[in-house]
Amino acid sequence: MTRSNCTLTTLTQAYRFAIDPTPVQANHLRSHIGGSRFAYNALLELVVANWDENRAKKASGLNVTKDDYLSTSHFGLLYLWAEKRDELAPWWSENGVSTYNDAAQRLSKAFQNFHRQRAKFPSFKCRGQVGSVRFKKDAVRLSDSHHVRISRIGEVKTYESTRKLFRHLERGTGRIVAATVTQRNGAWSISFTVEVQRQLPPTRIPEMIVGVDLGLTTLYTCATPEGVPILALDNPRHLVGAQRSLAHAQRIASRRSGPRKGVAPSNRWKKANGRVQKIHAHVANSRKNLIHETTTRLAKNYDVIVIEDLNVVGMMKNPFLAKHISDASWGEFASQLEYKTRWYGSTLVKVDRFYPSSKTCNQCGTVKAKLSLDQRVFECGACGLAIDRDLNAAINLARHGLAATDSVTGRGGEVRPKHQRLDATAHPDETSTKTSTLVGV
């Protein structure tokens, strides 16, 4: 492997900014969101009616061909909308074309997921606390580091500086693909989907290896293959901590008149619900910050990071664990590590979820048959080692990763890694993104 090669890769990245629309702009945006929802529901209704009709035809012995079915493709639905919009929504021209394109795209995606059995049949959207509309790339642009121009809406102020994205666009290393404006409990934000060209450093020589055990009591326990503990971060349990104030806020909201069928929520309920949402948002933000900090630190400072390939979806089905696991955001942690290791030239090794990292003694290798979740100290019956449960797991993971990288780089050889190695920079055509190789930097 030539280590002087630097690869230039196109990655899709999201940039999200809080925006501050004027009351007039907010009204326009709400109209776009409402228009998109209307078109989505109207199109869904047409398709459902069409299916019912065909079913009735079949039942009465008539011949039904493929042509009798409405197309649920993106363009098929757009075409259907163009045909019906004057009749269904005479006001349609008040909103930009992105609005209806967005609806058609979302619905076709929903049908696709249904046909591939990844989701249930698309459901009608109702007006709620959250609404969003996606704008096409030509409908949005950054006018400067504090303003976004959205067609039909005008110049919208951003709360934060968009400098990072602005520079990418100016230099030509970034291209806006689309932008989604979201309203969540009265707060507005815009999220740009951007294709960014990033120079990826070559994969580093695996010298510093760290094993990371993700837990509930101790959120992240990190250790080297030599058994040196590096970091033990207690689970701040943002959600658990905020539970009391959340319960209090929810109790108040529950006593007030919320939205029911045919009844609009009271102003007092809206106010109380706003408080509940605020606590939720605070929890989510502090969690996000912590994960970002930790993953950046690991990806920057270590060459190889070894984690367990956890079956998060499966574990979420366990009602006792679900709340805590989603609080700790394990899945988010892993996916951040996946892209950050690419950015910094380190390697992420995901160890098979059936590898007994917690049950194996890191000193003598004996594997325990059983280790219950509440047993915080690992005690080995064979060699008498007593060690913190999570630390033991982290050491085992680090060693497992060491063996794997040795075989990959040809230093070891006899160990065959059973797990997948996420090496983004080794082979351009192995990565999912478009890659071009630059000559030695």
Positions that interact with Zn ion (CB under 5 A): 361, 363-364, 366, 380, 382-383, 385
CB of 384 to Zn ion, least distance (A): 7
CB of 211 to Zn ion, least distance (A): 17
Contact between residue 99 and residue 133 where contact means Cβ atoms under 8 Å apart: yes
Q: Between 163 and 376, name the residue whose CB sits nearer to Zn ion.
A: 376
CB of 310 to Zn ion, least distance (A): 25
CB of 362 to Zn ion, least distance (A): 8
Q: Between 24 and 364, name the residue whose CB sits nearer to Zn ion.
A: 364
Q: Between 327 and 390, name the residue whose CB sits nearer to Zn ion.
A: 390
Q: Between 18 and 382, name the residue whose CB sits nearer to Zn ion.
A: 382
Q: Between 175 and 368, name the residue whose CB sits nearer to Zn ion.
A: 368
CB of 378 to Zn ion, least distance (A): 9
Q: Between 64 and 382, name the residue whose CB sits nearer to Zn ion.
A: 382
Give Cα 415 to chain centroid, integer Å: 34
Q: What is the dihedral of CA 164, 168, 171, 172, to 10 degrees?
A: -170
CB of 232 to Zn ion, least distance (A): 21
HEC letters along the chain:
CCCCCEEEEEEEEEEEEEEECCHHHHHHHHHHHHHHHHHHHHHHHHHHHHHHHHHHHHHCCCCCCHHHCCCCCHHHHHHHHHHHHHHHCCCHHHCCHHHHHHHHHHHHHHHHHHHCCCCCCCCCCCCCCEEEEEEEHHHEEEEECCEEEECCCEEEEECCCCHHHHHHHHHCCEEEEEEEEEEECCEEEEEEEEEEEEEECCCCCCCCEEEEEECCCEEEEEECCCCCEEEEEECCCHHHHHHHHHHHHHHHHHHCCCCECCECCCHHHHHHHHHHHHHHHHHHHHHHHHHHHHHHHHHHHCCEEEEECCCHHHHHCCHHHHHHHHHHCHHHHHHHHHHHHHHHCCEEEEECCCCCCCCECCCCCCECCCCCCCCCEEECCCCCCEEEHHHHHHHHHHHHHHHHHHHHHCCCCCCCCCCCEECCCCCHHHCCCCEEEECCC
CB of 382 to Zn ion, least distance (A): 5
CB of 396 to Zn ion, least distance (A): 12
Q: Between 290 and 387, name the residue whose CB sits nearer to Zn ion.
A: 387
CA distance 111 to 245: 40
CB of 223 to Zn ion, least distance (A): 16
CB of 242 to Zn ion, least distance (A): 41
Q: Between 301 and 366, name the residue whose CB sits nearer to Zn ion.
A: 366
Q: Between 146 and 389, name the residue whose CB sits nearer to Zn ion.
A: 389
Q: Between 232 and 385, name the residue whose CB sits nearer to Zn ion.
A: 385
